[in-house]
Amino acid sequence: MKRIIGLLTLFLPMTLVCCKSEKPVGENPFFAEWETPYGVPPFDRIAPEHFLPALERGMSLHDAEIDAITSNHDEPSFENTILAYDNSGAMLSQVALIFDMLCAAENTPELEKIQVEVAPLLTAHADKIRLNEQLFERIKAVYDRRTTLGLDAEQLRLVEKTYRSFVRAGALLDAQQKARLKEINGELALAAVKFANNIRSENNRFVMMLSSDELDGLPANVRELARERAAQLGQKDKYAFTLQKSSLIPFLTYSTKRERREEIYKAYLNRCNNGDEFDNKQLINDFIRLRTEKARLLGYPSYAAYVVDDQMARTTDAVYGLLDEIWTPALERAKGELADMEELFRKDYPEGEFASWDWWYYAEKLRKQEYALDEEMLRPYFSLENVQTGIFFLANRLYGITFRPVVVPLYHPEAVAYEVLDADESHLGILYFDFFPRDGKSQGAWCGNYVEQSFDGEGRRVAPVVSIVCNFTRPTANTPALLTLDETETLFHEFGHALHFLFHDVRYRGLSEVEGDFVEMPSQLMENWAFEPELLRQYAVHYRTDEVIPQYLIDKLRRSRLFNQGFMTTELIAASLSDMDIHSITEYEPFDPMAFEREALTDRRGLIPQIEPRYHYPYFSHIFDGGYAAGYYFYTWAAVLDKDVFEAFRESGDLYNKKVADDLRRKILARGGSADGMTMYRDFRGKDPDKRPMLRSRGLWTDPEPADSLSGKASAAAPRVGRARTDARR
């Protein structure tokens, strides 16, 4: 997972966080001003026991602030209503943000227990405010007069976004409907906590212990990591493989033991689908039942329609139009890839049947055959330290910013922190890195805030505290952490999110977030530089010999850039379609999630059995506990934008063009959600986004006249992102 959205940040942008129970309790650090370097949270003093009292006090203070707004007898104005509301709840937001981030990065049994207790409390608190009739009357009064108040563009957008957020939260419902909506929201909040904790438990309980004679094909560093993990588990003469991607993917890629590849991959695929205490299928039914009912209460035919209405796409037709356009050529390309691999497979298993757990292994063999390229020959050039250096170099080259290690409180000993300095050496923010897997950490990779960018009462910018959290391959006793190409790309991706947070210069908290299908653009954009030859020569240096990556390897990387794209695109779009399908249900009836998925992807769309969707429902954290419900398509929609932004650099003749980078920062990255995504995009690019660079990047550019926009209309003109006017699924 490239980005996770927090569960409990009810008044915050979509972000993510945790603490050790052995820390001294003492005075609650949330009840006093932090005297920490750069305003970072005092992780050295925060203990799990502090969260519930701090959240309760935060809710109480927030209630008082809302009461002050509703009891004001002056005519509602931008200042006494909209701005007052935007400034309210600061303490609650800060505590909830830290709690949420820690529960993803460094969870403990104590925190899990608190999660279950506070999730419905925070949800009820949010509902009490969003369904407060007196507060909404004042907000509506300002909204109705918004064009006569002399507001500037950002103030006007804040008024409109605030009003719309209340309407979408149920402000126009009657008393009975509001009561039911509160019940639904409380149940959904608790279901999300249970879903996430079940996945974490499943990930932690599976270990495949192997003896030394079962390691054929595995590179030395993979064996060493497995040996060290087994030793940690008390098995000194064994080798432990887990469901963490840094363990799973290398095993699937290199192990010659097909039966063992099948064992570990099936364990991964069947997480939370085993009919035990961690089974998530009933929770999935609960999610869909409750979300469908919520959408109908709010006037939408489905939860997907409710979600998409607030995004750039606006309609589910527009989403399906994009996904369907990519699905067929991607699947056909994947079938071609399969045919090539089956030739190799038949040499090993003349009578066998190629299965999904064979894909990584034979794809790697095919890459060696077609491009004489072995990822293991590349990894020595991609040490974690080198990749991080390359990212810092890129950020400096584009934006002039620099990074300086600092000593600050850490929430875990493995985390590291940097002060980020702007081009004029002013303080821009703090950036934490947390790279390696551990039992208390959720899977995947994400970026979030511990402290949001804001402005204090005297108009001074409060710098953000940002964190990148990953689950990368650990170093061993003999080698540093050597990243795969996917891990390298992931770090560039998450760093793009970090830059977006760090560059924020937004006046109002309510305008900090962009639309969900725009939010992945800054992160995916950074991936475009990861393997550019000039940048590779800056950071891809052999960790032992200090040799810069040779040109012949760069050439091989470039020639193989479309390798396996059919598979990668198909598994991505499959997950996006299954997400949209399950959230497009208009009338809930109890169902088997796995049967629903098979019908949607295999029976109806022809997904081949050798490819699994990127996520099956029982562990699809993005859409059930991560805030991407009916939104996994965000990555694909944003890909149209990020590839077209990169074209702006290409068209300039300089991939590090400072003017283009400055325009990007000023017109998009610094603005948060102070304008809608398409307005900001057009302001930067001077035109609508072109879909062709995205299609080319996936090897899918075959039609000389593709659909010209995300609405699916064909034209000879340059393709543009548009909006469909109707939604047939309503």
In sequence order, what are the residues at sequence separation of 6 or more whose Cβ sits closer than 8 angstroms to the Cβ of residue 630? 303, 304, 306, 307, 308, 316, 579, 580, 583, 584, 623
CA distances from 214 to 185, 476, 477, 693 (A): 49, 20, 22, 44
- Distance from C-alpha of 650 to C-alpha of 494, rounded to nearest angstrom: 22
- Distance from C-alpha of 724 to C-alpha of 318, rounded to nearest angstrom: 5
Q: Give the three-state DSSP class for 270.
A: coil
Q: Indicate left, alpha or beta for 38 from its phi (over 0: left) and psi (-120 to 50: alpha).
A: left
In sequence order, what are the residues at sequence separation of 6 or more whose Cβ sits closer than 8 angstroms to the Cβ of residue 26? 45
**437, 471 contact by CB (below 8 A):** yes
**170, 133 contact by CB (below 8 A):** no
Q: Are strands 446-451 and 465-469 parallel, antiparallel or unpaired?
A: antiparallel
CA atoms within 13 A of residue 153's CA, in its CB half-sphere:
8
Name residue, tokens 């039609």. 703
Q: Is 494 a catalytic residue?
A: yes
- Distance from C-alpha of 442 to C-alpha of 470, rounded to nearest angstrom: 9
Burial state string for 302-341 with b = 16 or more CB within 10 A and e = fewer than 16? bbbbbbbbebbbbbbbbbbbbbebbbebbbebbbebbeeb
**563, 367 contact by CB (below 8 A):** yes
The residues pairing with 469 across neighbouring beta strands, listed in sequence order, are: 434, 446
- Distance from C-alpha of 678 to C-alpha of 565, rounded to nearest angstrom: 28
Tokens of 334: 């994947």
- Distance from C-alpha of 500 to C-alpha of 670, rounded to nearest angstrom: 7
The residues pairing with 420 across neighbouring beta strands, listed in sequence order, are: 403, 429
- Distance from C-alpha of 136 to C-alpha of 142, rounded to nearest angstrom: 10
Burial class (CB in 10 A: 0-12, 13-18, 19+), 133: exposed
Spot the catalytic one: 106, 202, 494, 513.
494
List for the chain the helix, strand, coil content (%; round to 5): 55, 5, 40
Measured in whole angstroms, how far is the alpha carbon of residue 580 from the centre of its chain?
17
Burial state string for 604-637 with b = 16 or more CB within 10 A and e = fewer than 16? ebebeebbbbbbbbbbbbbbbbbbbbbbbbbbbb
What distance, in Å, lies between the first and last C-alpha atoms of the chain? 30
Q: Give the three-state DSSP class for 534.
A: helix
In sequence order, what are the residues at sequence separation of 6 or more whose Cβ sits closer than 8 angstroms to the Cβ of residue 52? 114, 117, 118
Burial state string for 208-217 with b = 16 or more CB within 10 A and e = fewer than 16? bebeeebbee
- Distance from C-alpha of 277 to C-alpha of 593, rounded to nearest angstrom: 17
- Distance from C-alpha of 515 to C-alpha of 694, rounded to nearest angstrom: 20
- Known catalytic residues are 494
